[in-house]
């Protein structure tokens, strides 16, 4: 649908609930909080929900303490899934999302979907935050303040790898410049999300990085974060996020895989690729998805079998 139609539909709703995806990243949370803040300014009754723990790097986002804090209404005029490629990404909030008078999805993932009644889907968008910006700009750009701009910029920066991935377009940079013009601390935001790591993460890195395995002439690199690694370094699953890109930073590596043990015999897998190797295709084999160069899925099984299956899928995609 076109942005102006989406705006019309949101305008006609009074009570609105926004939903981020499970295992939330900054784009899904920041896009939701930015839209929530804006819609409150235009007088809407808005709540934001997310099935999942928010990571430590989200703790100072504007309005983040309001997530999951509003009383759940029995029915909303409109529910909006934000950055959710599939209905099951809503987690435990799926029934609440479905029960609304109208449902909408705003997203930039590749997957075809039909789970919402209205859709604003643009896979060329660097982040869902880009789509939220366009809604706000067309609706009433005078209401774009530094709080909203900071949220949108954080979503943009994190989903584009600090403006370094192939999903960065001319439009992405135009929007970034408009957000910077609002007076946001852009350098601080980039530092926080791309350079600064906690000492715990540093300890986890030094332990696990010496044990990365390479295959196919070093074209495939696999890193594993196992329960024992978290115990030995006093860290949790959250500390392992984004470290997969350190593998694809190595010259010659075309596919980087991180396998993180989230429960006994249950693993969260992130795939990062270069050039024409399609991460989304690899993830879809295992019931996941994402983007061409960044995708993920969850897999259950014995560690050795999990590695074998993933490695085979990666080899087939080279």
CB neighbours (10 Å) of residue 305? 12
Q: Which residues in 108-167 contact Mn ion (CB under 5 A)? A: 128, 159
User: Using N-to-C axis directions, what is the helix angle for 186-194 and 170-180, rounded to 10°?
Assistant: 120
Q: How far is the CB of 163 from Mn ion (least distance, A)?
A: 14
**Closer by beta carbon to Mn ion, 23 or else 233:** 23
**Closer by beta carbon to Mn ion, 24 or else 63:** 24
Contact 225, 201 (CB under 8 A): no
**Closer by beta carbon to Mn ion, 150 or else 221:** 150
Residue whose C-alpha is closest to residue 93's, from 102, 80, 106: 80
Q: How far is the CB of 28 from Mn ion (least distance, A)?
A: 6
Q: Which residues in 298-317 contact Mn ion (CB under 5 A)? A: none
Q: How far is the CB of 129 from Mn ion (least distance, A)?
A: 8
**Closer by beta carbon to Mn ion, 66 or else 123:** 123
Residues 202-241: x where in contact with Mn ion by CB under 5 A, - otherwise, as a string: ----------------------------------------
Q: Which are the contacts of 170, defined by CB distance < 8 A and separation ≥ 6?
A: none
Q: Which are the contacts of 92, defined by CB distance < 8 A and separation ≥ 6?
A: 51
d(CA 7, CA 62): 23
Q: Which of 6, 10, 27, 131 binds Mn ion (CB under 5 A)?
A: 27
Q: Which residues in 39-78 contact Mn ion (CB under 5 A)? A: none
Contact 149, 182 (CB under 8 A): yes
**Closer by beta carbon to Mn ion, 224 or else 273:** 273
**Closer by beta carbon to Mn ion, 25 or else 229:** 25
d(CA 295, CA 248): 13
Furthest-apart CA atoms within the chain: distance in Å: 58
Name the segment binding Mn ion (CB under 5 A); options: 21-29, 213-221, 233-241, 268-276.
21-29
Residue whose C-alpha is closest to residue 257's, from 312, 207, 200, 196: 312
Total of chain residues touching Mn ion, rule CB under 5 A: 4
Tell me: does residue 107 bind Mn ion (CB under 5 A).
no
Q: Which residue is nearest to Mn ion (CB)?
A: 27
Q: How far is the CB of 176 from Mn ion (least distance, A)?
A: 15
d(CA 312, CA 318): 10
Contact 225, 302 (CB under 8 A): no
d(CA 190, CA 126): 16
d(CA 34, CA 26): 11
Q: How far is the CB of 290 from Mn ion (least distance, A)?
A: 9
Q: How far is the CB of 117 from Mn ion (least distance, A)?
A: 21
Tell me: does residue 83 bind Mn ion (CB under 5 A).
yes
**Closer by beta carbon to Mn ion, 135 or else 220:** 135
Identify the bridge partners of residue 289 per DSSP, sorted by sequence position: 296
Q: How far is the CB of 27 from Mn ion (least distance, A)?
A: 3
The binding site for Mn ion (CB under 5 A) comprises: 27, 83, 128, 159
């Amino acid at each position: 649908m076109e942005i102006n139609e989406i705006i019309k539909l949101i305008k006609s709703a009074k009570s609105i609930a926004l939903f981020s995806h499970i295992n939330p990243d900054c784009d899904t949370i920041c896009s939701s909080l930015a839209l929530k803040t804006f819609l409150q300014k235009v007088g809407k009754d808005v709540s934001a929900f997310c099935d999942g723990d928010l990571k430590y790097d989200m703790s100072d986002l504007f309005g983040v303490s309001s997530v999951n804090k509003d009383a759940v209404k029995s029915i909303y005029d409109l529910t909006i899934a934000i950055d959710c490629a599939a209905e099951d990404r809503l987690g435990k909030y799926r029934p609440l999302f479905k029960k609304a008078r109208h449902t909408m999805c705003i997203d930039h993932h590749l997957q075809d979907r039909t789970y919402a009644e209205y859709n604003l889907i643009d896979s060329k968008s660097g982040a869902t935050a880009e789509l939220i910006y366009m809604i706000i700009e067309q609706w009433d750009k005078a209401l774009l303040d530094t709080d909203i701009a900071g949220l949108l910029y954080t979503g943009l920066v994190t989903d584009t790898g600090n403006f370094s991935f192939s999903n960065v377009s001319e439009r992405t940079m135009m929007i970034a410049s408009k957000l910077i013009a609002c007076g946001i601390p852009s350098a601080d935001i980039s530092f926080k999300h791309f350079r600064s790591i906690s000492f715990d993460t540093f300890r986890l890195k030094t332990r696990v990085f010496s044990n990365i395995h390479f295959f196919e002439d070093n074209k495939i690199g696999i890193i594993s974060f196992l329960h024992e690694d978290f115990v030995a370094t006093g860290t949790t699953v959250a500390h392992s996020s984004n470290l997969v890109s350190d593998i694809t930073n190595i010259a010659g590596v075309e596919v980087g895989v991180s396998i993180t043990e989230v429960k006994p015999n249950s693993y969260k897998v992130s795939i990062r690729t270069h050039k024409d190797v399609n991460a989304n295709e690899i993830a879809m084999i295992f019931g996941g998805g994402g983007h061409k160069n960044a995708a993920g899925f969850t897999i259950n099984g014995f560690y050795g079998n999990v590695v074998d299956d993933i490695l085979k899928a990666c080899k087939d995609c080279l």
